[in-house]
Chain A
């Protein structure tokens, strides 16, 4: 079964608003990563947060990790139409650090 599950499955917001996506996982992890997939394209890595980190920023992206709740959130601030894509979390297990287990993703639509 999949390690990570995203919530919500779909999200529609207005340009300029913030978008928050959540990811829950089941077992202890080495790190958690977020990827973006534009329609018809491959996935692109956005950000990685290690199990001993609680928050990480990259440009308009903010990722938090709560290992006690086995959950992470991805915040995209001041969204743009170009942020329209699917977003996936992926977890790296403690005993298998090169493999990633992907969630089913959140489809984000940013309306102009």
Chain B
């Protein structure tokens, strides 16, 4: 069955380290998204991509980067982790082009920056 996976599921790192969170989907969806979820803020969009080689900044992109070299993967990199980036990160994908833009979510990665 098609799915979207994230790895690792849990990560503890230290301030200043580079961290990469993986996201892989097997639906062949064009659109992929990264969100962070913090108490009281719901989901906030970090970066998104509408296809290979396309990346765009979201609402809270500072300190994060993404690259899209194939349809299936959109890794999220924290260049120099900060304690403020402790959060739960969700990857999502949706098919396109269409006006029915339901998103399918991965299980999440809980990141702790010490």
| Residues in A lying within 8 Å of B, measured CB to CB | 2, 30-31, 33, 40-45, 48, 50, 88, 90, 92, 97-105
Contact = CB atoms under 8 A, between A and B. Distances in A.
Contact of A102 (B43, B102, B107): B43
Given A97-B101, A99-B45, A41 B40 contact: no
Contacts of A42: 90, 92, 105-108
Contacts of B90: 42-43
B114 to A, nearest CB: 21
Contact of B42 (A2, A41, A48): A2
A15 to B, nearest CB: 27
B67 to A, nearest CB: 19
Given A103-B42, A104-B40, A105-B42, A98 B105 contact: no
Size bracket, chain B contacts: 20 to 34
Interface of B: 31, 33, 35, 40-45, 48, 50, 58, 90, 92, 94, 96, 99-108
Nearest to A86: B42
15 contacts: A2-B44, A30-B99, A33-B102, A41-B107, A42-B92, A42-B107, A43-B103, A44-B105, A45-B104, A48-B102, A88-B43, A99-B45, A100-B45, A102-B35, A104-B41
Contacts of B58: 99
Contact of B48 (A41, A45, A99): A99
A31 B98 CA distance: 12
A102 B100 CA distance: 16
B89 to A, nearest CB: 11
Given A99-B48, A104-B42, A92 B101 contact: yes
A31 B99 contact: yes
Contacts of B104: 45
Best-buried of A44, A88, A92, A99 by chain B (most CB within 10 Å): A99
